[in-house]
């Protein structure tokens, strides 16, 4: 066989033969591509993951903001309801005293609503329940307004009725006062008109003898008594007892007082308070003329001069007379 410079196909290469540079370069490029793709994949995943998280956080923030906004809105609604309720109870005094059953329900509901709205961690379900209760509260306030309106109407009716009754009372009082004044005037007129009148007065000084007989005398020293006589009459005076008061004034101007004659004091209608000498009871019959006679004695005796006799009935002076006594021959 001829020798050539080409190796045989069956020959094995030597271990000392150097490696192919193009193959190594391709391997490095492949690894770089894989690494780059991995990096891009990680970055894409990371970006998507971040976006998802941001969406979640944004959703949570939006939900929180919505809950807070609804709570504020409910608070405003509740405040308006309370203002409405205060305006009702403040304008109606009768509702500020003993609470009605409806008011008690309203107070209970207000307490529940305040509890929910005061809770910062209140859930959407809680706020929904609060909204429902505020609606019910407004309905109760409406019924309370109806009650107040009814009470106001009744109060106005009662006020008008009381005003009418007061007017009638005033008229009746005025009429009664007028009638009373007329009756008093009439009674006073009748009272005055029923006063007895005295006439034909006589004053007789008498000396009492030992034999029981009496003798008229004008000498003061001999006089034992003054016999006073007059007639009384009146057409309207009711029949029955009447008291006459006699005042005897001596020459010195002193009113004669005698315990035996029942001397005392009286009030007259024209002359004020006066002392009287004797009280003389008489029985009078309507429309008749009656004679009255009574003696006046003086424990101190009679002095010379004028003795004045005045007779009063019903506070009025009805008669008057004067009798003069003389000095005796021996004094």
Query: Which of the four pLDDT bands, split at 50, 70 and 90, describes residue 150?
Result: confident
44 and 102 fall within a common domain: yes
Are 281 and 165 within one domain? Answer: no
Cβ-contact 203, 311 below 8 angstroms: no
What's the pLDDT at 210? 84
Whether residues 160 and 306 fall in one domain: no
Question: What does the alpha-carbon distance between residue 142 and residue 131 come to, in Å, rounded to a whole number?
Answer: 17
> Do 207 and 285 reside in the same domain of the chain?
yes
Residue 58 predicted with pLDDT over 80 = no
Residues listed for the chain: 331
CA–CA gap between residue 79 and residue 86 (Å, rounded)? 10
**CB under 8 Å to 61, separation ≥6 — which residues?**
none
How do 240-249 and 278-284 pair as beta strands? antiparallel
- For the stretch 169-179, what's the b/e string if a residue is b when 16 or more beta carbons lie within 10 angstroms of its beta carbon? eeeeeeeeeee
CB atoms within 10 A of CB 304: 16
- Of 138, 159, 193, the one marking the end of a domain is 193
Specify the CATH number for the domain of residue 318: 2.60.40.10
Angstrom distance (rounded) from CA 191 to CA 234: 12
Q: How confident is the model at residue 31 (pLDDT cuts 50, 70, 90)?
A: low
* 204 CB-near residues (< 8 Å, 6+ apart): 216, 226, 227, 228, 229, 323
pTM score of the predicted model: 0.50
Reported as a pLDDT band with limits 50, 70 and 90, residue 56 is very low
Residue 312 sits in which domain range?
197-325
Residues 6+ positions from 278 with CB-CB distance below 8 Å: 245, 246, 248, 258, 261, 262, 263, 294, 296
Residues 71 and 175 reside in one and the same domain:
yes
Domain assignment present for 17: no
As given in the structure block, the two tokens for residue 113 are 């609503």
Residue 7 domain-assigned (yes or no): no
**Stronger pLDDT, 4 or 320, i.e. the higher one:** 320
Q: Which residues contact 117 (CB under 8 A, 6 or more apart)?
A: 71, 74, 75, 78, 130
- The answer to whether position 59 is within a domain reads yes
On whether both 134 and 209 belong to a single domain, the answer is: no
User: Is position 172 within any domain?
Assistant: yes
- Confidence at 262, pLDDT banded by 50, 70, 90: confident
Q: Is the pLDDT of residue 40 over 60?
A: no
Establish if 13 belongs to a structural domain. Answer: no
The CA distance from 208 to 151, in Å, is 94
- Residue 240 sits in the same domain as residue 293: yes
Q: What is the pLDDT of residue 181?
A: 85
Higher pLDDT, 30 or 101: 101
Mean pLDDT for 296-311 is: 92
Domain final residue pick, 140, 175, 193:
193
């Amino acid at each position: 066989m001829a020798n050539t410079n080409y190796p045989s196909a069956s020959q094995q290469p030597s271990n000392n033969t150097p490696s192919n540079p193009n193959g190594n370069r391709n391997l490095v490029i492949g690894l770089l591509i894989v690494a780059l793709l991995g990096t891009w994949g990680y970055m894409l995943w990371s970006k998507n993951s971040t976006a998802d998280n941001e969406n979640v956080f944004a959703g949570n923030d939006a939900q929180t903001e919505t809950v807070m906004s609804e709570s504020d809105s409910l608070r405003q609604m509740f405040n308006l309801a309370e203002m409405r309720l205060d305006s009702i109870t403040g304008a109606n005094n009768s509702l500020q005293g003993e609470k009605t059953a409806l008011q008690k329900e309203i107070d209970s509901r207000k307490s529940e609503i305040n509890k929910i709205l005061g809770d910062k961690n209140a859930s959407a379900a809680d706020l929904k329940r609060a909204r429902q209760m505020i609606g019910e509260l407004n309905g109760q306030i409406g019924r309370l307004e109806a009650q107040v309106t009814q009470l106001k109407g009744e109060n106005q009716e009662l006020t008008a009725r009381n005003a009418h009754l007061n007017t009638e009372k005033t008229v009746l009082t005025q009429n009664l006062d007028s009638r009373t004044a007329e009756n008093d005037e009439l009674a006073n007129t009748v009272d005055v008109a029923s006063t007895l009148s005295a006439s034909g007065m006589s004053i007789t000084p008498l000396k009492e003898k030992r034999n029981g007989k009496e003798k008229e005398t004008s000498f003061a020293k001999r006089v034992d008594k003054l016999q006073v006589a007059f007639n009384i009459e009146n057409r309207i005076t009711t029949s029955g007892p009447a008291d006459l008061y006699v005042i005897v004034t001596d020459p010195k101007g002193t009113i004669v007082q005698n315990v035996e004659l029942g001397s005392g004091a009286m009030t007259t209608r024209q002359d004020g308070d006066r002392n009287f000498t004797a009280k003389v009871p008489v029985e009078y019959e309507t429309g008749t003329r009656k004679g009255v006679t009574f003696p006046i004695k003086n424990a101190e005796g009679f002095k010379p001069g004028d003795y004045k006799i005045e007779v009063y009935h019903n506070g009025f002076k009805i008669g008057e007379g004067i009798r003069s006594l003389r000095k005796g021959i021996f004094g």
